[in-house]
Amino acid sequence: MSAAGATGAAGAAGGIDPDRGGASASHRPLGILAALPQELGDLIEAMRAESSLRTITHGQRDYHLGTVHGAPCVVTLARVGKVAAAATVSALIHAFDVEAVVFTGVAGGVGSEVRIGDIVVANALLQHDLDASPLFPRFEVPLLGVSRFAADAALADQLAAACERFVAEAGAASAARFGTREPRVHRGMIISGDQFIASALGVEALRAALPDALAVEMEGAAIAQVCHEYGVPCAVVRTISDTADDHAPESFASFLAEIAGAYSNAILARFLAARSAG
């Protein structure tokens, strides 16, 4: 059975019709998720205004089905951490038969060139807290033989293009509004772990172990692993809210409340409009 057939069958078995959001079998929806409500911005409200929004509760999560910026989508919260993210994206694949998955949210900056307000689009994702050595190499997922999970190149390119358009069209105004520097878009590795990195020693340890890491968060690599195992394209975009050091808790809270939603709205609007037009 093909991957599409397998996920469609799983959705039917679970009693959830993935086409209830209005997508035809030939135009499956895109799954969009974030860990926290602020990271989705006004996406659900925009979906409600544009289409007949339908909400299905599954596994103690609300999945919102409809069309937003012209694209059929299923939008939900993954909640925080790798297990929660893996459970949520598994439901998107099996119960809602999504065509691809996009994760949006904030992250701590790890790369020396990454600053607060910058945007990172993942080329690859890795679990920095996974270590089954000496049985398996550090960072490698046991029995998969993989440590770095590649984001889907085409989807990541589309997401990066939307970020670049946002920066070109509204970056200066956003920076002035929020008192940050004009954002820059980076492409590279995002690392994930079930820890909120909030110390200079912690971030230095990550840089030493993974010198090409640009950002650290708590969900993306788990989502990438599940998508890898089921052959579903995925992409991850993160806005840098803090520098993962001793000031991270205060910086994260402020950025999340004031800036995260605005950046997410702007990027996703451009990404989804281009996807719909294409």
Residues labelled as active-site residues: 39, 242
Maximum C-alpha span of the chain: 54
Between CA 130 and CA 76 the distance in angstroms is 26
Show Cβ contacts of residue 205 under 8 Å, excluding neighbours closer than 6 positions.
none
Q: 143 φ, ψ to 5°?
A: 75, -10
Q: 211 φ, ψ to 5°?
A: -65, -15
DSSP of 185-233, one letter per residue? EEEEEEEE-SS---SHHHHHHHHHH-TTEEEEESSHHHHHHHHHHHT--
Strands 71-77 and 213-217: unpaired
DSSP SS3 for 55? strand
Q: How many CB atoms lie within 10 A of CB 249?
A: 11
Q: Which residue blocks in 41-195 are alpha helix, DSSP H? A: 43-50, 82-94, 153-166, 172-178
Between CA 45 and CA 36 the distance in angstroms is 15
Identify residue 28 by its one-letter amino acid code: R
CA 18 to chain CA mean position, Å: 21
For residues 14 and 70, is the Cβ–Cβ distance under 8 A? Answer: no
